Structure 1
Amino acid sequence: MDRELTKAERTKARRKKIIPYIIGIVAVIIIFAVIMISLKASVNRDDLMTTTVDRGTIETTVTGSGSVVPAFEEIINSPISTRIMEVYCKAGDSVDMGTPLLRLDLQSTETELNKLKDQIEMKRYELEQQKVNNSTRVSDLAMQVKVKEMSVNRLEVELRNERYLDSLGSGTGDRVHQAELAYNTGRLELEQMRQQLANEHRVTDAGLNVKNLDINIAEKNLGEMSRTLSDAQIRAPRRATLTFINDQIGQKISEGEKIAIISDLSHFKVDGELADSYGDRIRVGSKAVVRIGRERMPGIVSNVTPLSRNGVISFTVRLDDDANHRLRSGLKTDVYIMCDVMEDVKRIKNGSFYTGPGSYDLYVFNGDNELTRRTVKLGDSNFEFVEIISGLEPGDRVVISDMKRFGNSNTIKVK
């Protein structure tokens, strides 16, 4: 006959059911712990790049990007609006001074040149004609002045005679008065004619000056057009390498349009860009180091643009060895600009881990076989060293290779 179980018996039965589950959970935890211990982060010693903290001098730099460009480059523009008739060279050719590069259609320009020559010749004929006309008018006025002078002299003699006769009692006052009036009138007319002659001289001289100036302007235009026509004979202005040429025969080109570029590919410079926040730390004459791969090339900042564009300022570095075999046009580089010197500071070697002043999580040797993650505050740098503000002391061995694969591991075994 069934009987009802007591409370103690029911509790004991439940415990029997729960115990296997508890034992299973504990077993899983133990196995997981064993696995975690066996899988503890580790790294081979040979895979690590390390540096030792020391004290020394850091010549601080700011870092920019740059591009290698020819030290000399000249753009050849079309001096006229025309079209391309023939092309004699191709990009990459070495050219000497005076080498023909291409031929432009110059027929319309030559026609304009000849037309301007004819206009100048016509202006010269007009000038000669005006000289003859001016000479005739001036001569006529001069002759009239001489005739008037003779007339005034005659009136003066008549006035003296009338005065003499009047003194003898043979003349009358009215006759003397008439003679004086005629003489004074003649003198005024003579003065007027002399003034008219002087004015005519000035007018004719001014007219001739205008004509001469007009001819001079036309001759200057002729000279400018002659130079333009000469420039339209597109030739290499110096010995160099042709790096670009418009080789589309028949294509119309506008005045001032680029048609060729010649470059000196035996010498180079570096055009660089730098964040404008560092604008006060770069100036003409600053020392610079250009890094191409593992090679470092010293130089001097030769030019800095005064304006910021899109958050960057541009500058140019003149290299000490501008003919180095590693230099190639268009090659991208890192540029380090020297800006300050810090004496007796804690420092470590620079590496890919450093991206600017701030806090970093670096791994430091704790003995010979373990790395410990440590928060370190870093300051300014150059291409060799980084300043340590806090977190490390001289003698500490620091890993400077990429450790991102270890995530947030606080310790790492070294094998």
Structure 2
Amino acid sequence: MDQPVSQQAIDRRRRLKLAAAVALLATLCATAWAINRAVRPAIGAADIHVAEVRRGAIANTINASGVVIPVHEELVSSAFQTHVAKVHAKLGQQVKAGELLLQLDDKTIVLALDAVKEQLAQQDNRILGLTLEMEQKRKQLVSSIELLEIDLQSTQAKWQRFQRLRKSGAVSGEDMLTAELNVKRTEIQLRQQRELIEDVKRATGSSIDGARLQQAILRKQLQQQQQLLDQASVRAPFAGMLTAILADEGASVATGQLVAKVSELNNYRVEATLSDFHARALETGQAVRVEQNGKQLAGKVQTILPEIQNGAIKLLVALDQPHDPQLRNKMRVDVNIVTEQRAGALIVDSGAAFNGRGPQPAFVVTDGVARKRIVNFGAGDGRAVEIVAGATAGERIIVSDISRFKDADSIRIAN
């Protein structure tokens, strides 16, 4: 016989059904959560760098590689063919202005110098001999002129006496003519002797001028040889560091060959190299940021070298602080050339996740999930990049490299 079910049994059954439903729901949620974790890719928060979008100033820059070089350096080359006689300095040594660096063999220069001195002495003797000869000839001609002047006076007196006697008929016409011709002959001889003095002066003076011209040429040669002799002692042109030297004693040296180089200390500039693709964007006077080991130095484009080699262009950067103690010769630095600047732009820290200007995918982080979004990027200065569209101030974007998730639409960020 059937008995009615007690209220207690009914309540027990209800509780069991409710517990079974709750357990089923929990199982479904757990399963969905597990499936979501298995399907959606995840990345650790410590493995990424997230930056916040903000307002700020941005400068568009062109990146270049640079090397620190001295503002002033001087190359010392050999003025003649010789060999190294003795080395007095070492590479990397700090030297004073005029300090002897090395000695080149000067025997051939000394011989050539002595030969020029001998030729110069010969010309001195020649000039002296010509001068004495001219003076001697002048004295002889002066003596002849003085005698001819006496003869002229005598013939003139005789002619005048004959003129007076002719009136009385005491002198014949023939004697008168002879006396007159003697006067004219003496006058001609006197004039010739005087002209001969001038001829001797001109002739001898021309020889002396030729000797003096040769003497001037020899003096220039003497000066040149003396300069070569002085250059055989290679000295520091100014105080600085010896950055190159031909240190092998006995080594042959060709004319014009570099034997030493002295660079100025604690006064530097930067030589930057970049692709000629950016040539049109470069101008002298553009602001430049030079970075090395986290330190930034300001400067300006001083000179753009006109020659392009292997698709690269070079420029010289003048630093605002060329005496910075951290600068070293041949130090490699990063150079950022500022081509434009904007204030109040929407910016985010630069990172490997971005690739130049234009629209590109980026992951925006919200509530522990990074969702892919197309963001339009603009100018960049190496530290920050401008956001033209696709994000707003306050949003957070992954800026580190997550290229392995390029096909994912979202990424779960695990703590």
Alpha-carbon spacing, 1:367–1:223, altered in 2? closer, same or farther (3 Å)? same
Write the deviation string for residues 14-35 of structure 1: whole angstroms up to 9, x where unpaired. Answer: xxxxxxxxxxxxxxxxxxxx98
Q: Give % identity.
A: 24
> What corresponds to 2:314 in structure 1?
314
Q: Conserved in 1, the CA contact under 8 Å of 2:266 and 2:327?
A: no
> What corresponds to 2:410 in structure 1?
411
Q: Conserved in 2, the CA contact under 8 Å of 1:273 and 1:312?
A: yes
Q: Conserved in 2, the CA contact under 8 Å of 1:241 and 1:264?
A: yes
SS of 1:412's partner is strand
Cα deviation for residue 164 of structure 1 reads 8.3
Letter of the structure 2 residue corresponding to residue 226 of structure 1: Q
Return 5+ residue gaps in structure 1 as ranges.
Answer: 1-33
Range that drifts further, 174-183 or 128-137: 174-183
Alignment of 1:139-178 (within 5 A): 139=139
Write the deviation string for residues 149-190 of structure 1: whole angstroms up to 9, x where unpaired. Answer: 777778888888899899999999999999999988987887
Cα deviation for residue 43 of structure 1 reads 2.0
Alignment of 1:4-43 (within 5 A): 38-43=38-43
RMSD of the alignment, in Å?
3.9
Range that drifts further, 157-166 or 241-250: 157-166
Alpha-carbon spacing, 1:200–1:368, altered in 2? closer, same or farther (3 Å)? farther
CA distance, structure 2, for counterparts of residue 388 and residue 282 of structure 1? 24
Q: TM-score, normalised by structure 1?
A: 0.74
Q: Conserved in 2, the CA contact under 8 Å of 1:362 and 1:399?
A: no
Range that drifts further, 35-44 or 110-119: 35-44
Cα deviation for residue 50 of structure 1 reads 3.0
User: Is 2:366 the partner of 1:372?
Assistant: no
Q: Conserved in 2, the CA contact under 8 Å of 1:363 and 1:371?
A: no
Range that drifts further, 293-302 or 202-211: 202-211
CA distance, structure 1, for counterparts of residue 331 and residue 325 of structure 2? 12
Range that drifts further, 109-118 or 47-56: 47-56
Q: Conserved in 2, the CA contact under 8 Å of 1:84 and 1:249?
A: yes
SS of 1:213's partner is helix
CA distance, structure 2, for counterparts of residue 388 and residue 166 of structure 1? 135
Cα deviation for residue 401 of structure 1 reads 1.4
> What corresponds to 1:382 in structure 2?
381
Letter of the structure 1 residue corresponding to residue 336 of structure 2: Y
Cα deviation for residue 332 of structure 1 reads 1.6
Alpha-carbon spacing, 1:267–1:158, altered in 2? closer, same or farther (3 Å)? same
Letter of the structure 1 residue corresponding to residue 50 of structure 2: T
> What corresponds to 1:361 in structure 2?
360
Instruction: Tell me the number of residue pairs that the alignment of Structure 1 and Structure 2 aligns.
Output: 381
CA distance, structure 2, for counterparts of residue 284 and residue 167 of structure 1? 108
Q: Conserved in 2, the CA contact under 8 Å of 1:368 and 1:414?
A: no
Alpha-carbon spacing, 1:393–1:165, altered in 2? closer, same or farther (3 Å)? farther
Cα deviation for residue 96 of structure 1 reads 3.6
Range that drifts further, 226-235 or 375-384: 375-384
Letter of the structure 1 residue corresponding to residue 110 of structure 2: E
Range that drifts further, 294-303 or 336-345: 336-345
Alpha-carbon spacing, 1:85–1:353, altered in 2? closer, same or farther (3 Å)? farther
Return 5+ residue gaps in structure 2 as ranges.
Answer: 1-33
Q: Conserved in 2, the CA contact under 8 Å of 1:41 and 1:412?
A: yes
CA distance, structure 1, for counterparts of residue 156 and residue 393 of structure 2? 122
Range that drifts further, 323-332 or 113-122: 323-332
Alpha-carbon spacing, 1:171–1:94, altered in 2? closer, same or farther (3 Å)? same
